[in-house]
Structure 1
Amino acid sequence: MSIGNSPEDERSFQDESQEARPSVGRALQQARIAAGLTVDHVSSATRVRIAIVHAIEADDFAPCGGDVYARGHIRTLAKAVHLDPEPLIAQYDAEHGGRPAPTPAAPLFEAERIRPERRGPNWTAAMVAAIVVVIGFVGFTAFKGGGGDSDAKSQVADGATPATSKSASPKPKKEKPAEPTGEPTDSAIAAAPQDKVTVQVSAADGRSWISAKDHNGRMLFDGLLKKGQSKTFQDSSKINLILGDAGAIQLYVNGKKIQDNFQPGAVQRLTYTKGDPEAG
């Protein structure tokens, strides 16, 4: 006869239906126990707080802070306990009203391009016209100078001294400036203000939702960053970041590249200050 279960005994009751599919939290808990892992082990491996791990295993997703974070935590915990995260995310969506339609990113990043601008003088056309005039004048001078040489030769043959004429010297061509590279140059790193914190977020390996706040909690940006796009944030003392898919993001803090091996699909909360690139 069993007197009672120990606190470590997390096995399901024997009278549960074997055909019923377990909930998302229950499935994660059973996989964790089967892998011989404790909540502390999972929290250390995923950087998800212990309280949130306990809440998710109890099917309480409110501490996650929203559906986006909940899906990210489910994906991270499933990988840590060797489960396929896709069925669990599909089950979560089915139980919580379905996956919401993605917010179109075009209004976020193209609003400034469609803003009407006042047209100024067309200096390009004026410059092209001036260059054409100069080239024509130089060509005419060269042609006329060729005829002058024949006259000079005839004068030399007659014993006369030819007049010395100055040849038009061609204008030096301006070198085309070098194309900017994706990596920050040494001058850009040196130009980073020492009395401020500057954070550049680049979606190098895919798209990701990001959120950025300053030291007063004021929202600087909250939206989707497409692959190849980047955002730069600056504050007098501190920048707070939330990365929806940290594995797709490359960070530059105060002009220096941050070498963090973030996992794809992992949600990361980061804080950077003037003294970084050490993570806050």
Structure 2
Amino acid sequence: MSIGNSPEDERPFPDESEEFRPSVGRALQKARIAAGLTVDDVSSATRVRIAIVHAMEADDFAPCGGAVYARGHIRTLARAVRLDPEPLIAQYDAEHGGRPAPTPAAPLFEAERIRPERRGPNWTAAMVAAIVAVIGFVGFTAFKGGDSGNDAKSQVAEGTTATPTKSASPTPTKDKPADPTSEASDSAIAAAPQDKVTVQVSAANGRSWISAKDHNGRMLFDGLLKKGESKTFQDSSKINLILGDAGAIQLYVNGKKIEDNFQKGSVERLTYTKGDPEAG
């Protein structure tokens, strides 16, 4: 039997008394058991790994990866087991030295500039056309010159004066250079194609773990985005995001800034399509 698959097998912490307030981990465990959920159920619903859920219920928050992520996981697990997360987060802060001072926001990222490669006139085609025209002109002149010489000899033999004729020479044509491609927009986000969804994620206010998938569920990115770093994702129809610390993230979707006021330490699951910005 896998660990956490049977809420009836949960064992209370030793030396626990009802007259004392339970710890954060114990409160989460009791609420989960009362809701009839196993650790596997909670992990599947929240996407928090089973090992982390077990550790948190044992009041070991080190596997969360830091206080910010611990608060986010506490909020996520509390909602999954139908608890008010705010008292638990306040208790966690009191037991772990309080909430740290907010980190100053970093300047917004500057959009990468994407410019199309300028296309010059097709001089190769023009040269080939000119050479073909010259060769044709020389061949035509030589042919007409031979015919004129034969006619002149024939007219002299008959006692008449030959009148030279002027052959019309073809005028070489030159290909008109192609117009250069117009300049693209200075902003990479503003130039996002309308037939696709483009999402840019910037860790403007601190570091955050993020996950991004396309409409087929294929993983585009799964890792830690350091403060000041950004990632751009593009798909034909849909981008699915998970933000480990949504308060540290600034989003730009299809060229527009997302103004959602995400809370520091909150875990957000978002979906954006070609019709956004409007969270799916």
The alignment's TM-score, normalised by the length of structure 1, stands at 0.46
The alignment's TM-score, normalised by the length of structure 2, stands at 0.46
- More relative contact order, 1 or 2 (CA 8 Å, 6+ apart): 2
When Rg is computed on C-alpha atoms for both structures, the one with the higher figure is 2
